[in-house]
Amino acid sequence: MTTRAEAVTRQRLAVLVWLIVALGLAGCVGLPEQGPIVTQDADVEQDTQQALDIDARPPVEGASRLQVVTGFLDAMTAWPIQTSVAKEYLTADAADVWTPENETIVYSDAQPPQQASTEVTVELTGADLIDDVGSWRGALPRRDQKLRFPMAIEDGEFRIDGPPDALVVPANWFQQRFQQVSLYYFTPSAETLVPEPVFLPQGDQLATSLVTALLNGPPDGLRDVVGSFMPEDVSIGLSVPVSESGVAEINMVGEAPRPSAAEAELMVAQMAWTLRQAPDITAFRMRIDGEDIRVPGGATLHSVQAGARFDPKGAGTSTALYGLHRGRVVTGDPVGLAPVAGAFGTGRYQLRSVGVSPDGTQAIGITGDGTTALRSTIAAEEGSDENEQRGVETVLSGVDLARPTWDLAGGVWLLDRRLDGAALWRLWDGRAKEIQIPGVTGHNVSEILASRDGTRLIAVVRRPGGGDAILSVRIVLGAGGAAQRALQTTTVYPGIAGRRIVSIAWSSRTRIAGLTPARPGSLFEVDIIPADGAEVGVDTLSTIVSGRVLGLAGPVDENYPTYAVLAEGLVDVRTRGTVSLNLPVTQLGYAG
């Protein structure tokens, strides 16, 4: 049987295989010219997305220290995988313990190797870090951008005696060969799936990469935030075969208990949402040691559309637009906006902003002076007395409350923009709890935005000296949905000096749209960026919108438009198509 350690090692090696396979040779920028040999059939027209075959060169006899380091860096980028050649540049002891699967360093440029006594150094520029799962971890600390290669003499030749435990690759080939996809895990309540962006290779082996990465489980730093129902003590080897009819066969081997029917349903949901990103897969089977995984009802063949009730945006949640017209809450499609039912639809409260629950039944409105958050039902719940649904209650008093933002756990985040810095509250189960968030609490914060799954909070923070940054905070939820603490804060958009961000919205499950005045009052820029802050390997979108843009309407689901909102119309930021509104608005957006 496979031990836990063996299973983890095999899974990590499988990820490394496909990382290296997809990367190919980028040619180490700024390094000496010696490197792998590129082989190509001149009679075959090359697709721009097709990886070239690259054979890594082994060390030559009598190579200098600098040539050995250069050859080692070049050999790491060989494609298809050729780690054995890279190890030839190492001492025997170093080769035995070298673990490049630990992380990946992606760099934009590198200085030529420099020799200092028995050590060779290589200074990287613009280097970023990706962990063993494929998650973006941001810029490599400045002190770590100088790679050090201790050298030794073995059998009369210079060899590296302590290489970094990382795969070190150039950014241009990473950009060409990798794509950002999502691995799907669960919230602690196991009611909602959470997409976690990772980088995996494009092409025919995407299915294998997705399955292998999902079986690795969440990154260590997120295990309090999300969970997985995939078995831990299993591996799949190096391949997930896909039939011509689009059926993927996932054969797991290892020591793992048999899942219950309920656990099997959760496993299938995770796998379905993850695999549907591979365009050639329509269904899949999962087996552990040859035994089929069966969901309630006994099915063993599972559609990639399975798991709809765990949808990260919420199953059956409202897709209508909600906004404010003359201080009252309105809803509908762009040409059919009308006041909601209940007190918020009367105009009595003259709200300045509103946040609507994902199911469209409740709203939190902020009064015109910004000091009070009110809750009211805006649609009668099934089986209830409609008259009892229309009361209004005060849920929080503050100084300058920003627009509320909801999650699927029933939580509502509220930002109080106090003179001495921001305070953040989460309303849940009838109670308001202040949450301390490093880098956000006590700072100059203009707006916040919660992810539907509740595990991520986005904040716009004014930096000293001007310019707004966008921060992402991971939130630890209890099994019931209460927020326990903020786990980590990451800058996903560092901002530009002097430029403000006046609105943010979800453009998809893993992308954020930000609105910046280019010429205040008449010209605005909309940028769509990754929620994890990745700067290489992702496509970003920037659109200029003319007119007085009030804010953004983000759908959380890429199947619906992301709009720039003007008082009397909408602009689709992707297609630039326009839609007129039947009512002028001061705010408009989707639920959440």
Quote the pLDDT of residue 380. Answer: 55
Band of residue 9 on the pLDDT scale cut at 50, 70, 90? very low
Name which of 262, 194, 198 is nearest 530 in CA terms. Answer: 198
Question: What is the average pLDDT across 491-516?
Answer: 93
> Which of 263-272, 275-284, 382-391, 499-508 is the least confident region?
382-391
Amino acid at 358: P
> Which of 122-131, 214-223, 352-361 is the least confident region?
214-223
Indicate whether 504 pLDDT > 80.
Answer: yes
Amino acid at 540: T
- What H or E segment, with its residue span, contains residue 125? strand 119-125
Alpha-carbon dihedral angle through residues 545, 547, 552, 557, given to the nearest 10 degrees:
-50
| Calpha distance 424→437 (Å, rounded) | 8
Indicate whether 96 pLDDT > 90.
Answer: yes
Enumerate residues 6+ apart whose C-beta is below 8 A from 311: 192, 193
Indicate whether 429 pLDDT > 60.
Answer: yes
Indicate whether 488 pLDDT > 90.
Answer: no
Question: What is the average pLDDT across 329-336?
Answer: 96
Indicate whether 16 pLDDT > 90.
Answer: no
| Calpha distance 585→474 (Å, rounded) | 33
Indicate whether 8 pLDDT > 50.
Answer: no
Indicate whether 479 pLDDT > 90.
Answer: no
pLDDT tens across 513-566, in order? 999 999 888 999 999 999 999 988 887 889 999 999 999 999 988 889 999 999
pLDDT tens across 395-406, in order? 999 999 999 999
DSSP state of 242: B
Higher pLDDT, 14 or 505: 505
Question: What is the average pLDDT across 184-202?
Answer: 94
Higher pLDDT, 383 or 72: 72
| Calpha distance 423→409 (Å, rounded) | 21
| Calpha distance 365→348 (Å, rounded) | 12
Residue with tokens 């009064």: 367
| Calpha distance 464→198 (Å, rounded) | 32
Quote the pLDDT of residue 328. Answer: 97
Indicate whether 1 pLDDT > 80.
Answer: no
Band of residue 219 on the pLDDT scale cut at 50, 70, 90? confident
DSSP state of 155: T
Quote the pLDDT of residue 554. Answer: 94
Question: What is the average pLDDT across 3-20?
Answer: 40
> Which of 77-86, 226-235, 336-345, 406-415 is the least confident region?
77-86
pLDDT tens across 26-60, in order? 333 333 333 333 333 333 333 335 556 677 899 99
pLDDT tens across 147-158, in order? 999 999 999 999
Quote the pLDDT of residue 390. Answer: 57
Indicate whether 591 pLDDT > 70.
Answer: yes
Contact 214, 133 (CB under 8 A): no
Indicate whether 466 pLDDT > 80.
Answer: no
Name which of 239, 213, 157, 188 is nearest 475 in CA terms. Answer: 188
SS3 101: helix
Quote the pLDDT of residue 6. Answer: 40
Please give the domain boundaries of the chain with CATH numbers for all domains: 4-176 (no CATH), 178-310 (no CATH), 321-590 (2.120.10.30)
| Mean of the per-residue pLDDT values of the chain | 87
